[in-house]
Amino acid sequence: DFVALSAHKMAGPTGIGALLATDEALSQCGPFLTGGQMIRSVSTEGSRYRDGAALLETGTPRIAEAIGWGAAVDWLSKIDFEKMHDHIKHLAITASNGMKEIDGIRVFSDPMRPESSGTISFLHERITSDDMALLLDEGGFAIRTGQHCAQPLMDALGVLSTNRISLWLYNTEEEVKSFLSHLRMICERFGQ
């Protein structure tokens, strides 16, 4: 009945998204917040709200973000997605294989799976995920650390958190090799 979209997952700005819903699903929704365009009328006896999607659109819309998201969608519409997928898959395989060769690194992702993306979760057996993130940051590599909105999975894996790299269209093989070199240096220096 619903599909949620996040602009920043589509090369767009943060702070904006979309919710697609069937008319039937929308008819069952009540107001979450009030104000702005979602009000049909206000009197001393109460308020009447608009129907459909307008019911969920309160306050001033995020105009600049919407324009930015539109530009991102225009840019994405010109991308050869098959070529992009092949590029990301190649980078992910290179990164995953390289990480598996480093002592102490456990890789949780399998980029060979057809449904895999460019995200690779990993953990060092003796370096905490937070420390790893800080050490990689010092080398110029921004990664995510934590439970990645998947605490039940972390519990099933028997870990508190993992590190995650996310590879995409703009990443290069040289960057992956540089990342692996820096990761190897960290593990040799701090993981013993």
Domain containing 89 — which CATH number? 3.90.1150.10
Q: Which of these three, 20, 47, 76, is where a domain ends?
A: 76
> Which pLDDT does position 111 carry in this prediction?
87
- Short-list 139, 135, 137, 143, CA closest to 190: 135
> Which pLDDT does position 129 carry in this prediction?
96
The Cα 185–Cα 188 span in angstroms is 5
The Cα 128–Cα 145 span in angstroms is 10
> Which pLDDT does position 97 carry in this prediction?
97
Do 35 and 58 belong to one domain? yes
> Which pLDDT does position 184 carry in this prediction?
98
Domain count, the chain: 2
Q: Specify the 3-state DSSP secondary structure of 1.
A: coil
Query: pTM here?
Result: 0.79
Do 89 and 184 belong to one domain? yes
> Which pLDDT does position 117 carry in this prediction?
87
> Which pLDDT does position 81 carry in this prediction?
94
Q: Is 29 a catalytic residue?
A: no
> Which pLDDT does position 59 carry in this prediction?
79
In this structure, the number of other CB atoms found within 10 A of the CB of residue 146 comes to 16
The active-site residue out of 4, 63, 149, 156 is 149
Q: Which of these three, 46, 76, 106, is where a domain ends?
A: 76
Q: Which of these three, 56, 76, 96, is where a domain ends?
A: 76
> Residue 64: phi, psi to the nearest 5?
-60, -40
- Short-list 169, 174, 180, 175, CA closest to 87: 169
Do 146 and 88 belong to one domain? yes
Q: What is the pLDDT along the chain (192 residues), one digit of tens a residue?
A: 999 999 999 999 999 999 999 989 988 888 777 777 888 888 999 888 888 888 888 878 899 999 999 999 999 999 999 999 999 999 999 999 999 999 999 999 888 888 888 999 999 999 999 999 999 999 999 999 999 999 999 999 999 999 999 999 999 999 999 999 999 999 999 988
Residues of the domain holding 14 = 2-76
